[in-house]
Amino acid sequence: MIGWFGVGCLVFLLVCAIVVARTRDLLAATIVFAAYSLVMAMTWQQLRAPDVAITEAALGAGVTTLLFLLAIARTRRTEDESA
Amino acid sequence: MRHLPALLLVVAIAYVLALTLTEAPAFGGLDVPARNEVMRFYLDEELDQAGIPNTVTAIIFDYRAYDTMGEATVLFTAVGAAAAVLAGHAGKLVARPMAATDDVILRIVSRMVIPFVQVFGIYVVVYGHLSPGGGFAGGTILGGSMALYLFVFGPKRTARKIPPAWGEIMEGAAAFWYVLVGLGGVLLGANFLANAAAGVPLGVQGQLFSGGAIWLIGLGVGVKVAATIVNLLVHLAGET
């Protein structure tokens, strides 16, 4: 079952998800999303799914972040308000 | 007050969804739907049929190897779509192709970290049948290490270390390798991608070279995923 550590992780995930959706700065959103993925990987580990945890840490926190960063580097850093 | 109908609708839907939650089985309980005869079959029979301790890898690369082949080929679509879209918009992107960073800390730390990350990636690929991980996870770690190199040292130096043609050849060869391993099952007189059923020797349980075709397929998927990530990021980083 989920202990206090797991509950803390889940609350952190919720806060991260809301921040990612609300922030206008795409670079900040990307970094918060990486933190989300890392804590998600810890949650998978807590749920005894180490295979998923490794993939989440590598794909979610690593490659997805790099992909977003590259996209930001080649476009704009902030969300367009008028779009 | 013109939002009132929408608000009422949202509250009503949330109420119905919350009602279904009360009917859901307890978290991790014994009556969850996933705990059925399929799960029991895999946990009971896998060690005899596929001969590896990691049941997840056995399902991905043995029982469901055909689905995994489709998943691995889907990655072609991702790279193809990225290349097609970026080729059409080459002049319209705001920023120029990515340049190398001047940050000394980044350069030195990444130079020290990348070899360890790569060794760990190779370990996760090669030991995917014994410990958590496998082709997808390990290939991602390997590709991530090369992506870090691309980020710190720029597309030009990356192209000198990993010529773009290599990445494409590796990706295609790994997908071809998967099909070849599958055809091996046909040659041995069983189904496509058959492993122990085709008489492939499973080896001694718990050793590095065990599990028959699972090990070969995992290797191919690892190379394929790593090459896909490198190709995708190199396309996105811009002209070399």
- Segment B5-14 mean pLDDT: 94
Residues A19-45: pLDDT tens digits?
Answer: 999 998 999 999 999 999 999 999 999
- Alpha carbons within 13 A on the beta-carbon side of B141: 25
CB contact under 8 A, B98 and A74: yes
Identity of the amino acid at B151 = F
Residues B32-91: pLDDT tens digits?
Answer: 888 888 888 888 888 888 888 888 888 888 888 899 888 888 888 888 888 888 777 665
| Nearest of B64, B43, B65 to residue B54 by alpha carbon | B43
List all residues 6 or more positions away from A9 whose beta carbon is below 8 Å from its beta carbon: A39, A42, A43, A46
- Quick one: pLDDT at residue B213? 84
Q: Which of A50, A63, A70 sits opposite B144 (nearest CB)?
A: A63
The answer, yes or no, to whether residue B240 has pLDDT greater than 50, is: no
Sign, Cα dihedral of B108, A73, B82, B78: positive
What pairs with residue B236 in β-bridges? Answer: none
The answer, yes or no, to whether residue A82 has pLDDT greater than 80, is: no
Between B34 and B123, name the one with better pLDDT.
B123
- Indicate the pTM of the whole model: 0.85
Torsion on CA atoms B200, B203, B208, B209, rounded to nearest 10: -40
- Quick one: pLDDT at residue A80? 67
- Quick one: pLDDT at residue B90? 62
CB contact under 8 A, B140 and A74: no
How far is Cα A12 from Cα B214, in angstroms, rounded to an integer?
Answer: 38
Cβ density class A3-24: b for 16+ within 10 Å, e for less = eeeeeebeebbeebeeebeebe
CB contact under 8 A, A51 and B137: yes
B153 φ, ψ (degrees, to nearest 5): -105, 0
DSSP single-letter state for residue B124:
H
The answer, yes or no, to whether residue B94 has pLDDT greater than 70, is: no
- Segment B6-23 mean pLDDT: 92
DSSP single-letter state for residue B95:
S
- Chain A hits for B133, Cβ within 8 Å: 50-51, 54
Sign, Cα dihedral of B60, B61, B63, B69: positive
